[in-house]
Amino acid sequence: MNNQHANAVAQLEKVAKLLRIDYKGQEKAFDSIINRLKEPDVVHQTKLEITMDDGKKKKFQAYRSQHNNARGPYKGGIRFHQDVSLEEVKALSTWMTWKCAVTGIPYGGGKGGIIVDPRQLSKKELENLSRAYVDFLTDKIGPWVDVPAPDVNTTGEIMSWMVDQYQKNLTKKGLVQENPLATFTGKPLAMGGSQGRDEATGLGGVMVLEKLVAKMGFKDKKKVTIAVQGFGNVGYWFAKHAADRGYKVVAISDSKGGVFVAKGIKAEEALAGKKEKGSLAKFYPKAITNEELLELDVDILVPAALENVIHKDNASKIKAKAIIEMANGPITPEADEILAKKGVILVPDVLSNSGGVTVSYFEWVQNLQGYYWSHKEVIAKLLPLMETSFAEMWAMKTKHKIDGRMATYMTAVKRVVDTMMLRGGI
Ligand code: NAD
């Protein structure tokens, strides 16, 4: 099985080799910091026991990996999935450190997970499990310590239960001064969530798209063709904002398959059509498979569904000029090399899908202030952060003649290393 943490360490070692030259005279400290970054600061793990609806007790393995907090509190989602593993949460927490550093938001990286298939639980059991997780973590999280959020199969409703449980536990311990709302992000608006969070990831990706097509020399947006794999939260908002800005989204897909429409697709129409007919393929005349979508001759390919969809067996068939990774980890390391040789421009996930964590950061800031921003203010604050991250990646890519992933990682790792150097004590 693909060991994600081993991948994360291999990526860090590759970046460190290129960065080391910038640390003349400080090589010993640099090496020691890189070694520390290969493992999380700490991983909390336990078996959570809950009472099931039939009165029986059941145990679930739970984790919280706190990778690095040099730049700010640990930050990252909580995943409820049967495939969660220690190696996975360690890797995801490492990638969160880089994602927050790339965007320049003042957080480190964390990630949590429970090995559970939530579809097998009743709502009450799911709530009990969520509350049990918070009981385990109450002493280990907080607005200035570690700020969890939703991830795969965790929702705004689950965050609301978690805030509630955290607040109850603090009150029991006489720690009411801790800010419960600012301890979790991705909450519903009525629980202190932020305007714009739903669309933030997709919209942030389109902000990146605008800068990318300018660098690629396209003059007319209407002629830029885009294929988007995945039509969930991220894919829908990406397709919608891209089409609203005049780009031609010629293909979209979901788990049942995709469609191709040469004159362009409006995301709202596609969503309504999918609801009406039961699938995208029944609403549009030309159905394609997910594999065909990835291999379309388009300008920009946007994988926005699953990990590892572009791999060593299909990478050479990719015809897109550029790929904006909106899903986490859609390209395998082997495919990365094939695409780089083909000259496909890559904007990596830690940069292009960072709009989500950025608006989570805005949510935290609003919770800490107790003062809430309008939708317009949120979007206006997101734009410069996305544009700056892209510009920094492009500058690094040009300076070192490296691919987009390596360029992004160099910026991110350098930021974390520099902060750790300043902190000293190495
Ligand atoms: P989602 O569950 O809302 O949507 C996933 C979409 O992928 C659905 O349309 C589903 O039908 C489709 N899909 C599932 N299996 C597929 C397959 N085999 N082929 C093609 N499509 C398939 O999830 P999301 O929130 O949109 O997240 C998508 C990706 O983006 C994930 O990798 C996630 O980790 C990443 N991401 C999400 C956010 C966020 O804010 N939601 C932030 C950063 C990264």
Query: What is the 326 CA–ligand 1 centroid distance (Å)?
Result: 9
- Distance of alpha carbon 322 from alpha carbon 320, whole angstroms: 5
Cβ–ligand 1 distance for 271 under 6 Å, the answer no
DSSP 332-361: -HHHHHHHHHHT-EEE-HHHHTTHHHHHHH
Cβ–ligand 1 distance for 253 under 6 Å, the answer yes
17 belongs to the catalytic site: no
Cβ–ligand 1 distance for 77 under 6 Å, the answer no
Query: What is the 254 CA–ligand 1 centroid distance (Å)?
Result: 9
Pocket of ligand 1, candidates 4, 197, 254: which has the most ligand atoms within 8 Å of its Cβ, to mutate? 254
CATH 3.30.460.20 fits 40-184, yes or no: no
Residue 2's pLDDT is 61
Cβ–ligand 1 distance for 254 under 6 Å, the answer yes
Q: How far is CA 65 from CA 4, 44, 84, 85, 92, in A?
A: 14, 6, 12, 11, 9
Nearest atom in ligand 1 to 234's CA:
26
Nearest atom in ligand 1 to 200's CA:
40
CATH 3.40.50.720 occupies which residues in the chain?
199-347
Cβ–ligand 1 distance for 326 under 6 Å, the answer yes
Q: Whose CA is nearest to atom 2 of ligand 1?
A: 232
Question: 255 in helix, strand or coil?
Answer: coil
Token pair in block for residue 130:
């969520």
CATH 3.40.50.10860 occupies which residues in the chain?
40-184
Nearest atom in ligand 1 to 353's CA:
43
pLDDT in tens, the chain (426 residues): 468 899 899 989 999 999 999 999 999 999 999 999 999 999 999 999 999 999 999 999 999 999 999 999 999 999 999 999 999 999 999 999 999 999 999 999 999 999 999 999 999 999 999 999 999 999 999 999 999 999 999 999 999 999 999 999 999 988 877 799 999 999 999 999 999 999 999 999 999 999 999 999 999 999 999 999 999 999 999 999 999 999 999 999 999 999 999 999 999 999 999 999 999 999 999 999 999 999 999 999 999 998 889 999 999 999 999 999 999 889 998 999 999 999 999 999 999 999 999 999 999 999 999 999 999 999 999 999 999 999 999 999 999 899 999 999 999 999 999 999 999 988
Pairing type for strands 300-303 and 225-229 reads parallel
Q: Whose CA is nearest to atom 28 of ligand 1?
A: 305
- The alpha carbons of the chain give a radius of gyration, in whole angstroms, of 21
Cβ–ligand 1 distance for 355 under 6 Å, the answer no
Nearest atom in ligand 1 to 357's CA:
42
Pocket of ligand 1, candidates 241, 255, 256, 351: which has the most ligand atoms within 8 Å of its Cβ, to mutate? 255
Nearest atom in ligand 1 to 201's CA:
40
Options 75, 90, 99, 111, the catalytic residue? 111
* Closest-CA residue to 111 (of 144, 67, 80, 71): 67
Pairing type for strands 42-51 and 57-68 reads antiparallel
CATH 3.40.50.720 fits 199-347, yes or no: yes
Alpha helices in 108-155 (DSSP H): 123-137
Cβ–ligand 1 distance for 290 under 6 Å, the answer yes
Q: Partners of 309 in the beta sheet?
A: none
Token pair in block for residue 63:
């984790």
